[in-house]
């Protein structure tokens, strides 16, 4: 059934289902939480349910039928009552005063947007990505205000869903605040964001804020198996690496995890080598940084961090149920035997700091060299 298409989020779904059943729909919501956990999916399902022509009532739950004309329109993001707003590239001819912000874009840009919307319709967890689209500009907010002022063309409740609302630039945010200050009957605005602290407080104060939860590993694994046909063992491992994010799990699925983990093991071996380690360590860092792919380096560091966290967990408890890299439990146990008295928690902290520096565009060769020497100091020299 439709609500079950939203992975996990049982607490939030209960809140929204209760609001529907009791007819207490807020003028504005802010769904916030980490990336990839289904904030947009919740907003789109909420809007579809409240526009369904023949909603299904079962055990106190109201769900969209998923078969009527309205549900079919919502499922392909073409419902006149549901407006999805997201970052767009700047239009060269945009004077910011009149006309639709989309119509001012080039034909190629519009085709890209159409492709992205199709992908989003097929998978509400998909992150819309358009070249040179880094902001939600005032023109988009003016589009929202114009649409709200027009009469509805179809029965149901009208929704404006602003995906990653923290991307609004200051001018757009101030204009949007005025829209929030003038509630419209039968219209609900939903902001979704993974960076709530970047929204201005006056916008947040006018929204009912709903925290969305990270997803349980089992729910992610089940979704990978059911939706993408991933084998159970692989789905379980990826789910444990995904840190509660289905989108991150899908990204990991597209990576060659075997290769990434092999590179991490090679780096760790070079770091732990007793003698003449400098040449091997330099060679391994050169291999890792050859294509200067920061995203790949970040993923490898995350894998290394998770591996050391597993080692630390085993050093304080022999319970392997808490291990993420369950397929490497023997290697982890051997590592802990040899390095049981080293500050693994401090080593993990050093990796976390390096991950942040990767995101800040620090030179990755220098960064990895510094990290490797720090880890060697912690793990080898203190044995």
What residues contact residue 57 under an 8 Å CB cut-off, 6+ apart? none
Counting Cβ atoms within 10 Å, is residue 214 exposed (0-12), middle (13-18) or buried (19+)? middle
What are the residue boundaries of the structural domains of the chain, listed by start? 2-213, 255-379
For residue 342, which phi and psi values (nearest 5 degrees)?
-100, 155
> 269: phi > 0 → left, psi -120 to 50 → alpha, else beta; which?
alpha
pLDDT given for residue 1 in this prediction: 54
Is the Cβ–Cβ distance between 5 and 44 less than 8 Å?
A: no
- CA angle in degrees (0–180, nearest 5) for 62-65-71: 115
Go through 75-91 and write b for each residue having 16 or more CB atoms within 10 A of its CB, e for each that does not.
bebebebbbbbbbbbbb
pLDDT score, position 192: 96
Which parts of 103-234 are beta strand (E)? Answer: 158-162, 187-193, 208-211
- Is residue 323 within 8 Å of 314, Cβ to Cβ? yes
b/e code 239-276 from CB counts within 10 Å (16+ = b): bbbbbbbbbbbbbbeebebeebbebbebbbebbbeeee
pLDDT of residue 248: 87
Q: Give the position of tokens 């960064």.
A: 367
CATH superfamily to which 2-213 belongs: P-loop containing nucleotide triphosphate hydrolases (3.40.50.300)
CA separation (Å) from 337 to 261, 300, 342?
Answer: 21, 24, 11
In degrees rounded to 5, what are phi and psi of residue 291? -90, 0
Say which residues have a Cβ less than 8 Å from residue 211's Cβ, sequence separation at least 6.
12, 32, 33
* CA pair distance 105, 275, nearest whole angstrom: 60
Q: In angstroms, how far apart are the furthest CA atoms of the chain?
A: 76
Distance in angstroms between the alpha carbons of the first and the last residue of the chain? 56
pLDDT in tens, the chain (383 residues): 578 899 999 999 999 999 998 889 999 999 999 999 999 999 999 999 999 999 998 877 899 999 999 999 999 999 999 999 999 887 665 554 545 566 677 888 889 999 999 999 999 998 888 888 888 999 999 989 888 887 777 788 999 999 999 999 999 999 999 888 888 888 999 999 999 999 999 999 999 999 999 999 999 999 999 999 998 878 888 888 788 999 989 888 877 777 888 888 888 888 888 777 888 888 888 888 877 788 888 888 888 888 888 888 888 887 777 777 777 888 888 888 888 788 888 998 999 999 889 888 888 889 999 999 999 988 886 55
Q: What's the pLDDT score for residue 337?
A: 86
CA-to-CA distance for 377 and 356, rounded, in angstroms? 21
Here the tokens at position 159 are: 């929704």
Give 320-380 as a DSSP string: GGG-S-GGGHHHHHHHHHHSTTS-HHHHHHHHHHHHHHHHTT--HHHHHHHHHHHHHHHHT
Phi and psi angles of residue 160, each rounded to the nearest 5 degrees, phi first: -120, 115
Would you state the pLDDT for residue 189?
Answer: 95
pLDDT at position 100, please?
56
Token reading at 379: 């793990």
Task: Give the number of other CB atoms < 10 A from CB of residue 382.
Answer: 12
Tokens encoding 268: 């760790």
Both tokens of residue 3?
């609500």
pLDDT for 340 = 72
Q: Is this model's pTM higher than 0.75 or not?
A: yes
């Amino acid at each position: 059934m439709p609500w079950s298409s939203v992975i996990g989020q049982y607490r939030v779904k209960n809140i929204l289902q209760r609001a529907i059943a009791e007819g207490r729909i807020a003028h504005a919501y802010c769904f916030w939480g980490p990336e990839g956990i289904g904030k947009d999916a919740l907003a789109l399902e909420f809007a579809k349910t409240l526009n369904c022509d023949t909603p299904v009532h079962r055990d106190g739950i109201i769900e969209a039928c998923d078969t009527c004309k309205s549900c079919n329109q919502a499922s392909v993001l073409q419902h006149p009552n549901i407006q999805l707003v997201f970052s767009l590239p700047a239009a060269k001819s945009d004077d910011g005063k009149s006309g639709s912000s989309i119509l001012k874009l080039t034909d190629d840009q519009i085709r890209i947007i159409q492709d992205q919307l199709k992908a989003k319709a097929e998978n509400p967890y998909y992150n819309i990505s358009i070249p040179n689209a880094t902001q939600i500009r005032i023109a988009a907010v003016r589009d929202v205000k114009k649409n709200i002022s027009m009469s509805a063309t179809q029965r149901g409740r009208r929704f404006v869903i602003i995906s990653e609302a923290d991307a609004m630039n200051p001018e757009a945010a101030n204009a949007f605040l005025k829209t929030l200050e003038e509630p419209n009957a039968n219209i609900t605005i939903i902001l979704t964001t993974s960076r709530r602290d970047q929204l201005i407080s006056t916008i947040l104060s006018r929204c009912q804020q709903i925290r969305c939860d990270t997803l349980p590993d089992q729910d992610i694994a089940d979704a990978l198996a059911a939706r993408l046909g991933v084998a159970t063992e692989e789905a379980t491992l990826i789910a444990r690496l995904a840190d509660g994010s289905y989108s991150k799990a899908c990204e990991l699925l597209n990576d060659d995890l075997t290769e990434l983990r092999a590179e991490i093991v090679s780096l760790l071996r070079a770091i732990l080598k007793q003698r003449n380690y400098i040449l091997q360590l330099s060679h391994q860092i050169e291999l890792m940084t050859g294509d200067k792919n920061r995203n790949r380096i970040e993923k490898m560091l995350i894998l290394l961090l998770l591996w050391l966290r597993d080692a630390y967990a085993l050093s304080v408890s022999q319970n392997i149920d808490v291990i993420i890299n369950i397929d490497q439990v023997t290697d982890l146990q051997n590592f802990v035997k040899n390095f049981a008295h080293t500050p693994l928690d401090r080593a993990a902290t050093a990796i976390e700091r390096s991950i942040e520096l990767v995101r800040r565009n620090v030179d990755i060769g220098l960064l990895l060299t510094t990290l490797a020497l720090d880890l060697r100091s912690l793990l080898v020299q203190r044995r």
